[in-house]
């Protein structure tokens, strides 16, 4: 039992800490993912699936083969009128709406809880309570990922942010894996006690540090969680000199919570400490815009009039289609056989369309020779005014020195005009999908500097440099 509990504490505790820190590194990104989940649940509760009649060719419908076909049904989602919604559904929909509006706050709280739970599991503190919370959380997330995978609702759970993308089914398997290690902690929770700190506890501490180091260096390429984890495991050892367990627990809880909250708030007020997205500094955006198209073959599916068996014929060569074939077969449908799946570009959905002409500025930005600035402002109505004077100074200098400076926003033309007039912006804004802009950097607004398509600088609106600093440090 001690061996099983020790292994479970190491795996569960370490994974919770690193998962919490990776999400805390990008709290806005985690909030976007929560918002996506809440929207899906709200829509599913507030809509009803209705079948749409499938159009079938009369010849096929009148054929004896028609009764043997399993024709795939098609559905649409239809909004349920408010007066027809039950009381419980109304409460849930309103709750999900509130959660969506406060997704950033919830994201921060979940990150803090994960980090505290992870470290307390490794330390063996308050395991009666910790095991209950772990068990309830993993049950909830297992249901969430199964629902998402089975109904294909959310394609990425966001469990490890952009550092590790998991498909819905992979996310579900991950949660089942964690559940298998959380169950022993829950069943034998009363037998887990991190006091006194002895060779067994030192071994768990060392094993957790070893697992954390391997994961960070091999998979996540980020050393900060190693030092964070080591610091608080060292604090736990230091506090072990205090005889009263409650002081050790409360001291650890306060320090872990404060440090986690400070780190999360820093990433909100600035940019992520470790950037895992395609627009990170040093990346060549021109290369990341290139993908690989899908290699597929269209096949025509017919039914043999005598046996009703499917006969597939390629559209590459139509020599098979003659009067004899048509006399003995009925057209059923066409299908696409994927030979090689498409490889999507890592940077996509950047169009930067002119609000007046619809002309795209994307190629001009990425292929610009020399320096080019992109001011990212997903929502101008919510954009911060801070350091707008510095942005204007950089824009004016750029326009005078053959440096491209443009803005990207999802706001409409009227909002753009109001914003430009209010702030006396000399540069133009171009329309783009909001979600694509938010992947560039988590700031509204934020500034990106490219040189020959390579990202050489990114700034949160709190960190926009002065024109002199920009010229001396970047525009060389």
Per-residue confidence in pLDDT tens, the chain, 476 aa = 889 999 999 999 999 999 999 999 999 999 998 888 888 878 877 777 777 777 777 778 778 888 778 777 777 777 888 777 787 888 888 888 888 889 999 999 999 999 999 999 999 999 999 999 999 999 988 988 888 888 777 777 777 888 888 888 888 999 999 999 999 999 999 898 888 888 999 999 999 999 999 999 999 999 999 999 999 999 999 888 887 888 899 999 999 999 999 999 999 999 999 999 999 999 999 999 998 888 898 999 999 988 899 899 989 889 999 989 988 999 888 888 888 888 889 999 999 999 888 899 999 999 999 999 999 999 999 999 999 999 999 999 999 999 999 999 999 999 999 999 999 999 999 999 999 999 999 999 999 999 999 999 999 999 999 999 999 999 98
pLDDT at position 129 is 94
pLDDT of residue 466: 96
Between CA 61 and CA 328 the distance in angstroms is 16
Rg for the chain, CA atoms, rounded: 28
Q: Which residue has the tokens 């040189």?
A: 451
Query: What pLDDT does 193 receive?
Result: 87
User: How many CB atoms sit inside 10 A of residue 311's CB?
Assistant: 17
pLDDT recorded at residue 398 = 95
- As to burial, measured by CB atoms within 10 angstroms (0-12 exposed, 13-18 middle, 19+ buried), residue 241 is exposed
Q: Identify whether 40 is preceded by a cis peptide bond (ω within 30 of 0).
A: no
* 35 phi/psi in degrees, rounded to 5: -60, -40
pLDDT at position 388 is 96
The pTM of this model reads 0.86
> Tell me, what's the pLDDT at 88?
81
What's the CA angle centered on 51, arms 45 and 53, to 5 degrees?
A: 160
Distance from the first to the final alpha carbon of the chain: 63
Longest dimension (CA), the chain: 94
The predicted structure's pLDDT at residue 79: 80
CB 305 within 8 A of CB 65: yes
Helix (H, G, I), strand (E, B) or coil at 3: helix
Distance CA 410, CA 360 (A): 14
Residue in the structure block whose two tokens are 């989940």: 37
Name all domains of the chain by residue range, CATH numbers in brackets.
2-43+86-269 (no CATH), 295-340 (no CATH), 362-473 (3.40.30.10)
pLDDT at 165: 84
What is the structure's pLDDT at 115?
Answer: 96
């Amino acid at each position: 039992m001690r061996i099983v509990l020790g292994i479970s504490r190491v795996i569960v505790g370490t994974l919770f800490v690193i998962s919490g820190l990776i999400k805390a590194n990008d709290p806005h990104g985690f909030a976007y993912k929560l918002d996506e989940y809440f929207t899906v649940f709200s829509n599913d509760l507030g809509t009803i699936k209705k079948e749409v009649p499938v159009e079938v060719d009369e010849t096929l419908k009148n054929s004896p083969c028609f009764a043997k076909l399993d024709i795939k049904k098609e559905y649409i989602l239809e909004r349920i009128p408010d007066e027809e919604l039950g009381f419980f559904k109304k409460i849930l929909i309103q709750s999900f709406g509130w959660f969506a509006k406060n997704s950033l706050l919830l994201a921060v709280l979940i990150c803090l809880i994960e980090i505290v739970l992870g470290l307390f599991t490794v330390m063996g503190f308050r395991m009666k309570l910790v095991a209950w919370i772990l068990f309830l959380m993993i049950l909830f997330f297992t249901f969430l990922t199964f629902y998402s995978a089975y109904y294909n609702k959310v394609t990425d759970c966001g469990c490890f942010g952009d550092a590790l993308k998991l498909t819905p089914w992979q996310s579900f398997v991950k949660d089942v894996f964690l559940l298998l290690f959380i169950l022993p902690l829950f069943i034998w929770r009363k037998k887990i006690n991190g006091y006194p700190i002895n060779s067994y506890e030192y071994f768990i501490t060392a094993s957790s540090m070893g697992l954390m180091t391997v994961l960070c260096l091999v998979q996540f390429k980020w050393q900060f969680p190693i030092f964070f984890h080591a610091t608080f495991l060292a604090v736990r050892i230091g506090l072990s000199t205090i005889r009263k367990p409650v002081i050790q627990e409360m001291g650890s809880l306060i320090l872990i919570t404060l440090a986690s909250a400070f780190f999360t708030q820093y990433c909100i007020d600035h940019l992520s400490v470790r950037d895992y997205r395609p627009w990170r500094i040093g990346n060549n955006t021109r290369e990341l815009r290139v993908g690989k198209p899908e290699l597929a073959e269209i096949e025509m599916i017919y039914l043999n009039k005598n046996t009703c068996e499917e006969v597939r014929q390629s559209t590459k060569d139509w020599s098979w289609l003659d009067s004899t074939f048509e006399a003995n077969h009925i057209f059923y449908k066409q299908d696409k056989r994927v030979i090689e799946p498409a490889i999507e570009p890592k940077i996509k959905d950047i169009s930067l369309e002119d609000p007046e002409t619809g002309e795209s500025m994307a190629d001009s930005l990425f292929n610009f020779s020399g320096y080019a600035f992109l001011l990212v402002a997903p929502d101008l109505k919510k954009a911060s005014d801070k350091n707008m004077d510095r942005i204007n100074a950089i824009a004016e200098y750029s326009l005078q020195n053959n440096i491209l400076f443009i803005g990207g926003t999802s706001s409409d033309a009227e909002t753009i005009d109001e914003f430009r007039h209010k702030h006396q912006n000399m540069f133009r804004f171009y329309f783009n999908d909001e979600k694509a802009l938010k992947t560039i950097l988590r700031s509204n607004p934020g500034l990106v500097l490219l040189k020959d398509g390579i990202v050489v600088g990114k700034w949160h609106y709190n960190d926009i440099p002065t024109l002199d600093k920009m010229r001396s440090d970047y525009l060389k």
